[in-house]
């Protein structure tokens, strides 16, 4: 079969969130764009990650609400849970969002969509199926896949990952989850609330990238719901024992369950790309990029999970904007991370932007740490969701990091992303007015907590007030 040769301004390899953002932005600004995708349009986020996991968590939340109604004067019968129907809900949510990421939509925008995987055959040439494509600029946005760790015996037992769990239609009787990061804990809570017994097996501590002060609140909440979280348990061997699966830890602990899920991290999708033929440097885990997201081949950019940095949909979307500015207009553009927030969507949620307390104290000589608890937020009290707090890391009146654990932490953190992105002062946050009663008041209260001792415990302020009052008519 002869190859059909194509030329384009911009070639995007991968139709996940980052690749789609680049393609949509570039074509609407007048560039000629070709988009390659050998798998599903929408990538991991739509089909296996953010969207389905939050949909399943929503099902679990409804089931859980029925069990805590007595706190509000409502007596509910034990909910009848249809796990298969919950998974149908997940599929329906994906189907509702899918048209936004579809081939039809992007072809309607003017993008040439080719449903094939791409591989480099030269510094600016890529082969995809029967096409050989030469591009002025190329963007690699191939994403990542679940890591399958080399645990002895794993090949002898059935297991699922966040990619394959969505095919299940019968609930696990007892789900063993190897990995206590965000994916592991979100799936643990969702399945526990949908009726499964759940054990999380984590080699270190749960949510290891986050502030232990906050993770303690999440872990305690999950344990209170009946989830077993075994920390410091490195899986050494897996085997089948009749109808059960056994996971043995290095310290001798033995965990037995009916189903096994692996959630130990993600790896960049590099295998099909033949990066060496384009002169692109990469490690075993990611493509090397500079601050402008350019690879060692200056015509080629890489964005999203494949770069090995913060692996979040919104990061890929943000990086897409950086690349469009550089590739289309030739303008200097650099990607930053200090204003990028992230959230773990357990209940309570855990969100972070900027530096954690430990990171801030390591970087700066003087850091003020301000905490304000949900316990004192009236809206949280009305909804009986008072577990958690906000923690501000402040240097010379400006926040350099914010950590939040509790109800709507993911919503609350957005304000602080704007504050840090624009180098704003806490006084600007303190001057805002939030409607009463809302959870959003917590942000203003935290800023006010910073100023309270400066105003109410200052002898100078008190002396000035007394002086002014003496002379006021």
User: Are 117 and 128 contacting, i.e. CB atoms less than 8 angstroms apart?
Assistant: yes
Q: Provide the whole-model pTM.
A: 0.93
**CA dist., res. 456 & res. 465, Å (int):** 11
The dihedral over CA atoms of 94, 95, 99, 103, expressed in degrees to the nearest 10, equals: 90
pLDDT of residue 470: 77
Asked if the bond preceding 348 is cis, omega within 30° of 0, the reply is yes
313 annotated among ligand-binding-site residues = no
For each of the domains in the chain, give its residue range(s) and CATH number, in order of start: 4-41+102-146+267-329 (3.50.50.60), 154-264 (3.50.50.60), 341-456 (3.30.390.30)
Each residue's pLDDT tens digit, 353-383: 999 999 999 999 999 999 999 999 999 999 9
142 annotated among ligand-binding-site residues = yes
405's CB contacts (< 8 A; 6+ apart) are 214, 215, 217, 218, 348, 349, 350, 351, 387, 388, 389
What is the token pair recorded at 173? 């009787």
279 annotated among ligand-binding-site residues = no
118 annotated among ligand-binding-site residues = yes
**CA dist., res. 311 & res. 334, Å (int):** 18
441 annotated among ligand-binding-site residues = no
336 annotated among ligand-binding-site residues = no
19 annotated among ligand-binding-site residues = no
pLDDT of residue 128: 97
Backbone angles phi, psi at 79, to 5 degrees: -65, 145
pLDDT of residue 1: 61
Q: Which residues of the chain have pLDDT under 50?
A: none
What's 3's DSSP letter? P
The DSSP code sequence of 215-256 is HHHHHHHHHHTT-EEE-S--EEEEEEETTEEEEEETTS-EEE
Each residue's pLDDT tens digit, 61-104: 999 998 888 888 888 878 899 999 999 999 999 999 999 999 99
438 annotated among ligand-binding-site residues = no
241 annotated among ligand-binding-site residues = no
pLDDT of residue 96: 97
401 annotated among ligand-binding-site residues = no
**CA dist., res. 320 & res. 18, Å (int):** 6
Alpha helices in 333-377 (DSSP H): 357-363
25 annotated among ligand-binding-site residues = no
pLDDT of residue 259: 97
182 annotated among ligand-binding-site residues = yes
The DSSP code sequence of 171-204 is --SEEEEE--SHHHHHHHHHHHHTT-EEEEE-SS
- The answer for 433, left when phi > 0, alpha when psi is -120 to 50, beta otherwise, is beta
pLDDT of residue 328: 87
pLDDT of residue 453: 66
308 annotated among ligand-binding-site residues = no
Task: Compute the half-sphere exposure of residue 32: CA atoms within 13 Å on the CB side of its CA.
Answer: 8
261's CB contacts (< 8 A; 6+ apart) are 159, 160, 161, 165, 175, 176, 177, 178, 184, 187
305 annotated among ligand-binding-site residues = yes
181 annotated among ligand-binding-site residues = yes
User: Are 143 and 16 contacting, i.e. CB atoms less than 8 angstroms apart?
Assistant: yes
Helix/strand/coil for 265: coil
88 annotated among ligand-binding-site residues = no
């Amino acid at each position: 079969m002869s190859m059909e040769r194509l030329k384009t301004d911009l070639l995007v390899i991968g139709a996940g969130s980052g690749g789609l953002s680049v393609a949509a932005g570039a074509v609407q600004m007048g560039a000629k764009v070709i988009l390659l995708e050998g798998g599903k349009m929408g990538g991991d986020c739509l089909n296996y990650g953010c969207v389905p996991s939050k949909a399943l968590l929503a099902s679990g939340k409804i089931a859980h609400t029925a069990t805590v109604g007595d706190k509000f004067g409502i007596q509910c019968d034990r909910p009848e849970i249809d796990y298969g129907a919950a998974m149908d809900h997940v599929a329906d949510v994906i189907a509702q969002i899918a048209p936004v990421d579809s081939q039809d939509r992007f072809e309607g925008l003017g993008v040439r969509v080719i449903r094939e995987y791409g591989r480099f055959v030269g510094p600016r040439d890529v082969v995809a199926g029967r096409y050989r494509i030469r591009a002025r600029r190329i963007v690699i946005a191939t994403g990542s896949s679940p890591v399958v760790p080399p645990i002895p015996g794993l090949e002898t037992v059935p297991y699922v990952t966040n990619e394959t769990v969505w095919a299940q239609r019968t609930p696990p009787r007892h789900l063993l989850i190897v990995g206590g990061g965000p994916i592991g804990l979100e799936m643990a809570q969702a399945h526990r609330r949908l009726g499964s017994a759940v054990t999380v097996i984590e080699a270190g501590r749960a949510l290891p990238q986050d502030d232990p002060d906050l993770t303690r609140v999440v872990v305690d909440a999950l344990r209170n719901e009946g989830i077993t979280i075994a920390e410091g348990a490195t899986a050494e061997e897996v085997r089948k024992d009749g109808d059960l699966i056994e996971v043995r830890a290095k310290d001798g602990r033995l965990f037995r369950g009916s189903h096994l899920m692996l959630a130990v991290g993600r790896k960049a999708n590099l295998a099909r790309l033949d990066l060496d033929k384009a002169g692109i440097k990469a490690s075993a885990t990611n493509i090397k990029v500079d601050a402008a997201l350019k690879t060692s081949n200056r015509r080629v950019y890489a964005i999203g999970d494949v770069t090995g940095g913060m692996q979040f949909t919104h990061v890929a979307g943000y990086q897409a904007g950086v690349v469009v500015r550089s590739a289309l207009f030739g303008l200097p553009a650099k990607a930053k991370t200090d204003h990028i927030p992230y959230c773990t969507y357990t209940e309570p949620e855990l969100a972070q932007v900027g530096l954690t307390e430990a990171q801030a104290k390591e970087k700066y000589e003087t850091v003020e740490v301000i905490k304000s608890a949900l316990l004192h937020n009236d809206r949280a009290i009305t909804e009986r969701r008072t577990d958690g707090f906000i923690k501000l890391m402040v240097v010379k009146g400006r926040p350099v990091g914010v950590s939040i654990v509790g109800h709507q932490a993911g919503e609350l953190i957005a304000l602080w992303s704007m504050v840090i992105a624009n180098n704003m002062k806490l006084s600007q946050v303190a001057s805002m007015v939030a409607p009463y009663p809302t959870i959003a008041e917590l942000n203003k209260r935290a800023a006010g907590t910073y100023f309270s001792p400066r105003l109410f415990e200052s002898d100078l302020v008190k002396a000035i007030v007394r002086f002014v009052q003496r002379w006021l008519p």
